Amino acid sequence: MWETWHAAHPEDAIHICVRQGNEAMFDGHPFLAGVHVWN
């Protein structure tokens, strides 16, 4: 999903919010500008 969005809108900064404990799955993703944790 993020790859498709990034391909269509490469100038956009993509941030996601995940539940605590899942943030490691998204750390270092090349298309995500930020990973925010929902506690």
Give residue 7's pLDDT: 92
The amino acid sitting at 28 is G
Query: How many Å apart are CA 20 and CA 28, to the nearest integer?
Result: 17
Give residue 17's pLDDT: 97
Query: How many Å apart are CA 2 and CA 14, to the nearest integer?
Result: 8
Query: How many Å apart are CA 29 and CA 39, to the nearest integer?
Result: 21
- pTM (two decimals): 0.76
Predicted confidence pLDDT, tens digits, the chain (39 residues): 888 999 999 999 999 999 999 999 999 999 999 999 999
Domain boundaries, the chain: 2-38
